[in-house]
Amino acid sequence: MTTITEARVIVTAPGRNYVTLKITTSDGVVGWGDATLNGRELAVAAYLTEHVCPLLVGRDPARIEDTWQFLYKGAYWRRGPVTMTAIAAVDVALWDILGKVAGLPVYKLLGGAARDGVLVYCHATGEDVPALLDDVARHVDQGYLAVRAQAAVPGLAKTYGVPTPDGKLYEPASSALPEEHLWDTAPYLRSAPEMLGAVRERFGFGIHLLHDVHHRLTPIEAGRLGRDLEPHRLFWMEDPTPAEDQAAFRVIRQHTTTPLAVGEVFNSIWDCQQLITERLIDYIRTSVTHAGGITHLRRIFALADLYGVRTGSHGPGDLSPVSLAAALHVDLSVPNFGIQEFMGHREPASEVFRTGYTFENGYLHPGDEPGLGVEVDEEAAARFPYDPRQLPVNRRLDGSVHDW
């Protein structure tokens, strides 16, 4: 019987920190899993190294479901981003191995392609509206059909989603100690409809337009914003309020028809069960890396399908190319696919991660290599040591801590 002979964690920082799990079998087949948790990378690395990897050696790599149940129920302490990201990395690596052994791309193991390609949305940002409109134009010229628009809030020194001064890809984990940002809801509620209206005025309704509120409003503020955005026909308004308060979305739903997307901070089906079964959201954003891997993500998406909720997986630059590849295989295969976030990865990530996915006319495709279609260059990874970085903390004008 083929068995797992080694499971090992690789921490590397080509442009930003990534945590990758490498599983090797007695047949010499290697599978890769992403275990990156932005700002808490070493917590997952330690959970894997100390508590999971020793349990994997000797197991049958093809028993993916049994391994998932073994790691989830066997831990006794369930759920949470660290545990579920660690389980996800194992799960994705085992699906990679199964595909390589079968000689099939993972999506074919999941039932084959339900669509020709995966519609993606990109990030357009700007220190002000003119700069944002120029960035939207750049992305439309590159062929994107869906654009997330974020701009600085007038009067605030720093706003979520706006590039760092070095102009590189927006990277939220920017310092060894948390940066402290000031937040004020009133100017945001005034400027966001104007900003998104300016995008519609310049580009019309031929592109899908998305916006990320990033957890910062109260339910009634979110209802107000959603109503103000209705003339702009957003594809979705993301994370309007803190996601864990699922019942709060009943208030938002009472006040607006703007579609709602939530879920990037969720890590299990239990986190979103009420949102889905009460149809309080339109898109579920759970990611393959933070929500227990391909095995659990499929369960979440199957529940969502029953209630007319579509998928919209999180896909920022702080999930590795291994994660994006796995997401694309799931996206290609599920019946209720909605859209996939594609922020891209800052260089020199491509020195470490060799990917097989391709972009054309606004769609990504995972490719047809056996497995995930991604390989990791360990020698290159060793050239980029871990670089401790923290996510920012938000404070209101009175100094109290707010949601970032």
* Residues with a known catalytic role: 160, 214
- Nearer to Mg ion by C-beta: 23 or 173? 173
CB of 161 to Mg ion, least distance (A): 8
β-bridge mates for residue 213, sequence order: none
The CA distance from 31 to 22, in Å, is 6
- Nearer to ligand CS2 by C-beta: 67 or 311? 311
CB of 330 to ligand CS2, least distance (A): 18
- Nearer to ligand CS2 by C-beta: 39 or 154? 39
Position among 91, 135, 171, 212 found at the interface with Mg ion (CB under 5 A): 212
Q: Is 219 exposed, middle or buried (0-12, 13-18, 19+ CB in 10 A)?
A: buried
- Nearer to ligand CS2 by C-beta: 4 or 35? 35
Q: What are phi and psi of 26, to 5 degrees?
A: -65, -15
Which residues, 6+ apart, have CB-to-CB distance to 63 below 8 Å? none
Position among 219, 226, 293, 316 found at the interface with ligand CS2 (CB under 6 A): 316
Q: Which does 211 bind (CB under 5 to 8 A by kind): Mg ion, ligand CS2, none?
A: none
CB of 17 to ligand CS2, least distance (A): 11
| 240 binds ligand CS2, rule: CB under 6 A | no
The CA distance from 317 to 157, in Å, is 23
Tokens of 346: 């800052």
How many residues are given for the chain? 404
Q: Which does 318 bind (CB under 5 to 8 A by kind): ligand CS2, Mg ion, none?
A: ligand CS2
CB of 327 to ligand CS2, least distance (A): 13
| 38 binds ligand CS2, rule: CB under 6 A | yes
- The Cα angle at residue 314 between residues 400 and 119, in degrees rounded to 5: 140
- Nearer to ligand CS2 by C-beta: 22 or 314? 314
The CA distance from 369 to 344, in Å, is 21
Which part of the chain contacts ligand CS2 (CB under 6 A), choosing from 70-78, 250-258, 310-318, 350-358? 310-318
Q: Which ranges of 163-311 does DSSP label H, i.e. alpha helix?
A: 185-203, 219-229, 248-255, 269-277, 293-306
The contact mask relative to ligand CS2 for 367-396 (x = CB under 6 A, - = no) is ------------------------x-----
| 264 binds ligand CS2, rule: CB under 6 A | yes
- Nearer to ligand CS2 by C-beta: 38 or 311? 38
Which residue type sits at 360? E
| 341 binds Mg ion, rule: CB under 5 A | no
The CA distance from 125 to 137, in Å, is 11
CB of 289 to ligand CS2, least distance (A): 10
Cβ proximity of 393 and 172 under 8 Å: no
Q: Which ranges of 248-335 does DSSP label H, i.e. alpha helix?
A: 248-255, 269-277, 293-306, 321-333
Q: Which residues bind ligand CS2 (CB under 6 A)?
A: 38, 172, 212, 214, 264, 314, 316, 318, 341, 391
